[in-house]
């Protein structure tokens, strides 16, 4: 090993505790950030579903019905069967 590598190794060994502490802190911040993003996404999806369900409940309160007279169509089909 060259002297430069030896010096670098010794410096790293001296500061190993600080380096490990810094890496742990960065990892913890990453986990907290990812958890916050996950909470935001879950909350957003939950609100979207809640809003959709609430609107569909309001829309189903007024139910419109339609009737269709198909007697002419029935007579036409019966006429085809008779031939």
Mean pLDDT of 5-23: 90
- Quick: pLDDT tens for 32-80: 999 999 999 999 999 998 888 887 666 665 667 788 888 888 888 888 8
Domain housing 57: 3-82
Closest CA to 4 of 20, 16, 15, 12: 12
- State if pTM tops 0.85: no
Number of domains in the chain: 1
Overall size of the chain counted in residues: 83
Q: E-assigned strands of the chain?
A: none
């Amino acid at each position: 090993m060259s002297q430069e590598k030896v010096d670098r190794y010794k410096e790293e060994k001296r500061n190993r505790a600080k380096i490990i502490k810094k890496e742990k802190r960065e990892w913890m911040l990453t986990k907290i950030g990812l958890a916050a993003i996950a909470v935001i996404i879950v909350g957003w999806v939950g609100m979207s579903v809640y809003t959709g369900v609430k609107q569909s409940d309001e829309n189903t309160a007024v139910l419109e019905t339609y009737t269709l007279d198909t007697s002419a169509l029935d007579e036409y089909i019966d006429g085809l069967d008779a031939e």
